[in-house]
Amino acid sequence: MKFFLIGITGKMGSGKSLLSSFLKKKGIPVYSSDERGKILMNQTKIIKKNIIKHFGKDSYKKEKINKTYLSEIVFKNPIALKLLCSIVHPWISIDFKNWIFYVQKKALYVIKESAILFESGSYKECDFIINITSPIEKIIERIIKRDNLSENQIVNRLKNQISNKKRKEKSHLIINNYSSEMYLEKKADRIHELFENLYKHQYGKRR
């Protein structure tokens, strides 16, 4: 299989999912680690067993992951967050490899979107990494609308995510998302053009 693996990451509320959605509209396969992680936490028995073992029975409510309860624990404690990642990420890694193998055989490039691309170590698999940044006030505004969290809750969660400085050191492209959705859509156009041209240069004509 010949394709480029592009990692898209950024702090919560930065706009990484929006950028990914614009690329998906162009027919580019997008794997959302965050979304798949939620599904796996709900469906994989061994994940459920280990989460309950370490974080308690309240981690699940009516057989579904209790996101509010679990978030309050892991986003206040970096050690707890690392433990949760160690439980879930190996299964995300397997799920991603299966997704690549069975679904994406004809892709020029694929997107792996993850808030913890660096923390999980999966950035090492990527050929190119895009980091999205955004002003803190914009992030807070977006997350309040999206998740109905308080400003204090958002700030506490952001503190436990890897810093933008460290993200930038390991990224190939930085996108500062402080404008409109149209701005990100134009960025998606340029990214798509870039990787189409890179594919043509490295592997020859488009499949």
Domain annotation covers residue 168: yes
Does residue 158 or residue 103 have the better pLDDT?
Answer: 158
Domain annotation covers residue 55: yes
Contact yes or no for 174/168 (Cβ under 8 A): yes
Give the Cα separation of 73 and 68 in Å (integer): 9
Average the pLDDT over 139-155 and give the result: 86
CA distances from 143 to 14, 16, 28, 61 (A): 9, 13, 26, 23
Domain annotation covers residue 164: yes
Per-residue DSSP letter, 178: -
Q: What's the number of domains the chain is made of?
A: 1
pLDDT above 80 (res 1): no
Domain annotation covers residue 202: no
pLDDT above 60 (res 207): no
Neighbours of 40 (CB within 10 A): 19
pLDDT per residue over 42-99, tens digit each? 999 999 999 999 999 999 998 899 988 998 898 878 889 889 989 999 999 999 999 9
CA torsion sign for 120, 199, 164, 12 is negative
Give the Cα separation of 156 and 167 in Å (integer): 19
Domain annotation covers residue 207: no
pLDDT above 70 (res 206): no
CATH for 135:
3.40.50.300
The confidence score (pLDDT) of residue 104 equals: 67
